[in-house]
Structure 1
Amino acid sequence: MSLSIKELIVEADRCVACGLCLPHCPTYRKTGSEADSPRGRIQLMRAVAQDILPNNTRFNEHIDLCLSCRSCESACPNNVNYGALVDTTRALFIHKKSILPALAKPFIRYRHLANIASWLLWLTQQAKLDGLLKKISPAAKLLPPIDKPVTWNSMYPATFQRKGAVSLFLGCAGNALDNQTLKASIYVLNKLGFDVHVPSRQTCCGSIARQMGDTDESSKLVAQNQLSFDQTIPVLTTASGCGAGLNDYLPDHKIQDISAFLMTCDWTTIPIKPLNERIYVQDPCTLRNVQKSHQAVYTLLKKIPGSDIQALPGNSQCCGGAGAYMLTQSDMANSLLDDKLTTIKTNSVAILATSNIGCSLHIANGLREKNITVAVLHPIQIIAKQIGYGV
């Protein structure tokens, strides 16, 4: 949600500066600076909003360094809405910046243009030209091998006895770089008796634009999604970053992480093949702190006979992905990633389940650079395979 300046000041005043948030803040743990802690940033936000401090480069740097992981919200005894505070601050005070040129925005906003971009990426990889692409744009190193782009149907009917209907949110990054998870999601939902609607007018959730302080763009994306989805049926997300953004800015819709929704379904008639493997689960911050659905992932994966489901140690710390953060704040993002990679190596992780495309891209890229072989998969991909997907 967005606040006015007056509302920002009122919300900031609710912070009692108790400090319980400090050990939960990734940037504070790294820098030890009060200005890089939640309570420190809140004091800065309020002071700038009241014209006590100037809106200068130093202020911008402290706000930009925030990952918006919102771990502080989970620790706050006064339930201060830090997410709204930082979103509003970025919209009102942080100098507008973008990792994308203005001409690229339509390719994010409109799905038919996004599909063209996906085809170009896929064809580039098929032609073995992705090395050249990485030289042109360093961000291209994050790209995984992608599947052939999909032209989505407007509806996928239930395979067996129909039990209901849902809408599937594609997401811009998910649609372009991880359509395997989206296809697996449709397969599982159809098997469980649900029609899956894929609204053609849906667009990006707006979270990256919001993180950049581009409130005009994020508002347009929210408005487009508002009109695209039926409010009477659940809207399921496979990327928790998208789910968090939709949860905050589409309150009239039934937004759910797909794993949480699947735990409300009847699985008694679905045979699940055993998998005698240890699967570590990485909790995305947005799933844990905003959607509060991270436990559903463990419960879902434990349905697989023979599997050993474990939380990745240090799950309360952000991996550093955080949407565009891995590109705009690469030093801090990589410092946080190094901690995660050390944990993965120490625990000899072979399969890592994560429910956010940003975490997946960031961690998988770090693993590739260190020549560590780990299968980084969405939990839906794992469960889908065990009930026959791709066989």
Structure 2
Amino acid sequence: MKPINSTIERLKPSGIRKYFDLANAMEGVISLGVGEPDFDTPWHISAKAVESFAEGHTHYTANRGLIALRRQIANYYRNRYGIDYDPESEILVTVGGSEAVDLCCRTIIEPGDEVIVLDPNYVAYEPAILMAGGVPVRIPLTQAHDFKLLPEDLEQAITERTKAVIVNFPSNPTGGVMTREDYARLVPILKASGIYVISDEIYSELVFDGEFCSPAHFDEIRDQVLVINGFSKAFAMTGWRLGYLLANPELSAQLTKVHQFVIMSAPTSAQYAAIEALEHGMPDIAAMRGEYEARRNLICARLNRMGLTTNVPKGTFYVFANITSSGLMSDEFCVRLLEEQKVAVVPGTAFGESGEGFVRISYATSMEQIKEACARIEGFLETLRDA
């Protein structure tokens, strides 16, 4: 038998899934590991998918997606964030944000191109770069700077071989946010270098402090920016697998070319549901965001009282807790917490080398579960002190 692709063979399985699978094999586990809303998709959104079946909408759509959905996406970005995209030529509906990440990498990366990623970063970015023949270049982010990307670090990381930088704010796993002022300091560097900016904005609706800002807000670099967003996090639609890509017309045409050969079109029923979400789902987002914020406030207060120094995240539904006071490395902390107290969290090292000394805790679960998990974590820390 001939060997398989060596790049694929060298890829490591997701560090998130490892702990999810371990937790599933045990009884009585409180899982604060996987980043998925615990809310069901609001029924009025699901009902539109059911209605689409009844009306016979079970066929392919245009490669780019339903024009009615693309117009809603354009309206949403214009009204919500003040950024204009043409639904005919600059919007592509994808199978979740994950397909959008892959499309970006396959479309712009040539073998040997360097792509800057932030460390820690979402687990799918580096594999997507590697599978496209690129070379990931990491910029360490620090808790002291609230896990923001600093201009001096970006400037130092850019070389003649740099093709793009991937940013994800609000951030999975840190909950960090970049303000308009933060991005403004990066814009001259990005403009001068001409590199692409892949901006994963899947958590744009989950900002608790201040307002969301996209690098596409800046006209000077707007055509360099590829915006990724979707419906999974904001509308509790993870299983619907629907996202979208916003880019300038020339770039969008090339992204669509890859999409049409690999996917054809995103699921039709999900697109009808997404139209309803954008038309009438803003109150649902507000309600869920309010609940997440209350959970965030509780868990951060509890963790900090335990001595696990935690920055209060300004977005997402994650906290990135500093566990160095426990004396354990991240992986050992997670294994022992799961085995001894049946609480599943994810080691920071699942997201990059700079995640050592941290664990990612998802608060996308009920307040009761969070309170019980905090009590168990506190008990675990007490056993470490007594040992």
Normalised to the residue count of structure 2, the TM-score between the two structures is 0.28
More strand by share: 2
Normalised to the residue count of structure 1, the TM-score between the two structures is 0.28
Higher relative contact order (CA closer than 8 Å, sequence separation 6+): 2
